[in-house]
């Protein structure tokens, strides 16, 4: 009897490349009702949950009893375990909002894999959040910053995106503790955002250099916003003001070029 040639969905193929041990597998559905009943959602959150979220699955739990990695905790952070979620959505418009309320709802550091099917292609994005414990209520978390990649088309990745996906493999991450693993993942997202600008993906394996790279990226994004505002002002400015605004834009563009070399 001939073998059936059934291809796995590209996301499942990607998951298999991560080499997360079966001991971590949970594969449990999370229902929308849980978020509605146990999370403070505003009207826009509820609409995004209702209209844009198709499925949420808790794929893996990484903790000391399922993988040989040490927990980490201090007065601000509790990285005793990591949860890996898969969120299937039908529209990319509200991805950041959806990631934010899921991160608020689940009291663990989360690795959220978003997928959406558009034009018969599987699109993928990774969402992470730097969270700390609420000093007044240890049961709650404060999201300091959320990190969301651009959308990647699985199976059609360029060299930069391919290098990024390969760098998510568990074997490439530091095994000292779960906080170090999570910070390494955040650094990979930062490096991918820098690669969108520079065209090259490279990892910085030094805490001070990682922080500097993050600061340079934030400064780059801030200058980009300033240029956008200035260009908006030009449309309604008098001629002499347009000249001055153009000079400011040129200065900002020069600053972007200099920052690009530091990303």
* Structural domain span for residue 120: 10-203
Least confidently predicted of 1-5, 7-11, 96-100, 156-160 = 1-5
DSSP string, 34-79: HHHHHS---HHHHHHHHHHEEEEEEEEEEETTTSS---EE-SS-EE
Q: Which two tokens stand for residue 120?
A: 């018969």
In a domain, 212, yes or no: no
Domain count of the fold of the chain: 2
In a domain, 240, yes or no: yes
Backbone angles phi, psi at 16, to 5 degrees: -65, -30
Domain's final residue, options 155, 176, 203? 203
User: What is the predicted pLDDT for the residue at 3?
Assistant: 42
Let me know whether 38 and 82 are in one domain: yes
Let me know whether 225 and 102 are in one domain: no
In a domain, 5, yes or no: no
Reply yes or no on whether the pLDDT at 120 is more than 60.
yes
Tell me the whole-structure pTM to 2 decimals: 0.90
Please write the tens of the pLDDT for every residue from 180-220: 999 999 999 999 999 999 999 999 888 888 899 999 999 99
Let me know whether 25 and 143 are in one domain: yes
């Amino acid at each position: 009897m001939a073998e059936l040639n059934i291809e796995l969905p590209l996301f499942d193929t990607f998951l298999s490349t991560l080499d997360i041990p079966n001991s971590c597998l949970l594969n449990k559905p999370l229902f929308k009702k849980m978020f509605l009943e146990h999370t403070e959602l505003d009207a826009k959150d509820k609409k995004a949950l209702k209209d844009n979220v198709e499925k949420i699955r808790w794929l893996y739990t990484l903790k000391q009893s399922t993988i040989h990695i040490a927990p980490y905790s201090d007065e601000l952070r509790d990285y005793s375990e990591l949860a890996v979620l898969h969120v299937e959505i039908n529209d990319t418009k509200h991805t950041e909002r959806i990631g934010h309320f899921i991160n608020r709802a689940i009291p663990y550091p989360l690795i959220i894999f978003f997928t959406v099917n558009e034009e018969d292609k599987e699109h993928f994005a990774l969402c992470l959040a730097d969270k700390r414990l609420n000093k007044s209520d240890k049961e709650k978390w404060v999201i300091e910053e959320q990190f969301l990649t651009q959308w990647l088309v699985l199976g059609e990745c360029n060299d930069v995106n391919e290098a990024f996906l390969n760098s998510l493999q568990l074997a490439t991450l530091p095994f000292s503790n779960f906080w170090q693993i999570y910070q390494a993942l955040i650094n990979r997202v930062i490096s991918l955002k820098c690669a969108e600008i520079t065209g090259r993906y490279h990892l910085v394996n030094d805490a001070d250099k990682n922080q500097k790279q993050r600061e340079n990226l934030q400064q780059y994004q801030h200058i980009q916003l300033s240029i956008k505002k200035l260009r908006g002002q030009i449309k309604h400015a008098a001629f002499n003001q347009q000249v001055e605004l153009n000079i400011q834009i040129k200065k900002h563009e020069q600053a972007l070029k200099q920052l690009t070399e530091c990303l």
